[in-house]
């Protein structure tokens, strides 16, 4: 996601990147960017926005407008403590919240299955490697696993999808 206190161009750029859209000049052109985002959000899926409490009311309202667009089939999940207060300032978006959930730490026995559902990169990982990374680093924290997943997925894509080494070890 965008850095601390992003502006609308940074939010659009982050959304375009997350949805696999061109990240060049498109995010800085409001009309074309919003149209491209609306088309991308017509595909079923889930978009997670971490640290959503940092978004200003105008940015939260922009998200509401995107998700209110006819044909939007994507779900929006706003993550992190403090979202309730941030959304209270944007009543039009707050009224669209379907449910609030607090996600606790995963039990070690839950980690492999949860991760395989979370991201495809974990479907090929050795259970022992996943268990070791969880024990040494993540300790059942899904937020930590999301950071680890980003690094593993990036490395995997740079390697052309080939698996290089084992998860948790340098190749």
Other Cβ atoms less than 10 A from the Cβ of 2: the count is: 20
DSSP 116: H
> Does 25 or 37 have the greater pLDDT score?
37
Close Cβ partners of 164 (under 8 Å, ≥ 6 residues apart):
155, 171
pLDDT in tens, 119-151: 888 988 899 999 999 999 999 998 899 889 988
H helix count then E strand count, the chain: 8, 2
Which tokens in the block code for residue 159?
A: 């390697």
pLDDT at 164: 43
> Domain coordinates of the chain in residue numbers?
8-94, 111-158
- Threshold 0.75, pTM exceeds: no
Q: How confident is the model at residue 1 (pLDDT cuts 50, 70, 90)?
A: low
pLDDT at 165: 44
The percent of residues above 70 in pLDDT, for the chain, comes to 86
């Amino acid at each position: 996601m965008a850095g601390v206190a992003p502006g609308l161009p940074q939010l659009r750029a982050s959304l375009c990147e997350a949805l696999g859209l061109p990240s060049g000049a498109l995010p800085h052109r409001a009309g074309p960017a919003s149209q491209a985002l609306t088309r991308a959000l017509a595909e079923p899926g889930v978009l997670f926005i971490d640290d959503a409490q940092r978004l200003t009311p105008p940015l939260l309202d922009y998200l509401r407008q995107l998700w209110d667009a006819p044909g939007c089939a994507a779900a929006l999940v706003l993550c992190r403590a403090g979202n309730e207060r941030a959304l209270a300032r944007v009543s039009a978006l707050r009224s669209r919240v379907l449910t609030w959930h607090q996600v606790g730490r995963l039990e070690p026995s839950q980690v492999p299955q949860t991760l395989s559902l979370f991201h495809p990169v974990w479907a090929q990982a050795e259970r022992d490697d996943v268990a070791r990374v969880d024990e040494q680093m993540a300790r059942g924290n899904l937020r930590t696993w999301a950071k680890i997943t980003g690094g593993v997925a990036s490395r995997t894509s740079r390697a052309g999808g080939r698996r290089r080494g084992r998860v948790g070890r340098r190749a």
